[in-house]
Chain A
Amino acid sequence: MLRLIAGRAGGLVARRATVALTTGSSARMASHGHEVAETMDMSRPMYWDRLDIPLPEKLYKDELTDADKSLKQKEKGPWSQLTNEEKIALYRLMFRQTYPEMKQPRSEWKTVLGGIFIFVGFTGLVVWWQRVYVYPPRPRTFDDEWRAKQLQRMLDMRVNPIEGLSAKWDYEKGQWK
């Protein structure tokens, strides 16, 4: 059961935090496998796909091939000379996902909601056990007979006779107004 939750959480973390430090480098995101997972140096600029950060701290692709480098050189000239494919290639050099790709709906909420319900249900079981084994005996002030006598005493004392309890009781007829 714990492994299932851990596996599900691990899957969530791996999917959401797919930060590509370098694409062609040898940094591998090893899960609980035989290799030690490489720690990321969080003090260096990182690339991150976020809707509210249009320009991440660094470009997506760090190591440019020769073709990429020549494309970057061409980028320094007038852009009207770039073909559409070249423009898209330049975009993909800088960014990993486009905005529509980032905004794609995911099913994460179902997992979250399911987890919430599971834990709320478990809490219900815990509360039930507490009701049976932990709670003290019921106070006698909750009995109907006691509560009736309590109400009668409150009316006798004329509690809140102007706008409250005793104002709603008809003392001549002995009933509620």
Chain B
Amino acid sequence: MHLPKPVMRGLLGKRLRFHLPVAFTLSLVAAIAFKYAVTEPRKQAYADFYKQYDAVKEFNAMKEAGVFESVRPSGE
């Protein structure tokens, strides 16, 4: 019946000492991964799209398709 006295103090501190660095590291990794997996490709996609974008040509295509109310296709 000579059991050692269980640890009564510092339990939260011990847990935080381990888990806080882990939490911060994982958060940082998640943020970096999101940046390079999502935002950078998205920025590149936008850049590539607008490099070859001809606004007038797109407008005329949409006009001929008849989606505008202010300007009708050239046929009507």
Contacts and interface: CB of A to CB of B under 8 A. Distances in A.
Interface in A159-177: 161-163, 167, 171
A69 interface: no
Given A153-B67, A156-B67, A157-B67, A162 B46 contact: yes
Contacts of B65: 156-157
Nearest to A152: B65
Interface in A121-177: 153, 156-158, 161-163, 167, 171
B61 A171 contact: yes
Contacts, number: 18
Contact of B42 (A157, A158, A163): A163
Interface of B: 42, 45-46, 49, 58, 61-62, 65-67
Interface residues of A, number: 9
The binding surface of chain A is classed by DSSP as loop
Contacts of B62: 156-158
B67 A162 contact: no
A40 B62 CA distance: 80
B66 A156 contact: yes
User: Which A-B residue pairs are the 10 nearest by beta carbons?
Assistant: A156-B65, A162-B49, A157-B67, A156-B67, A163-B45, A162-B46, A162-B45, A156-B62, A158-B62, A158-B58
A33 to B, nearest CB: 51
Nearest to A162: B49
Contacts of B67: 153, 156-157
18 contacts: A153-B67, A156-B62, A156-B65, A156-B66, A156-B67, A157-B62, A157-B65, A157-B67, A158-B58, A158-B62, A161-B49, A162-B45, A162-B46, A162-B49, A163-B42, A163-B45, A167-B49, A171-B61
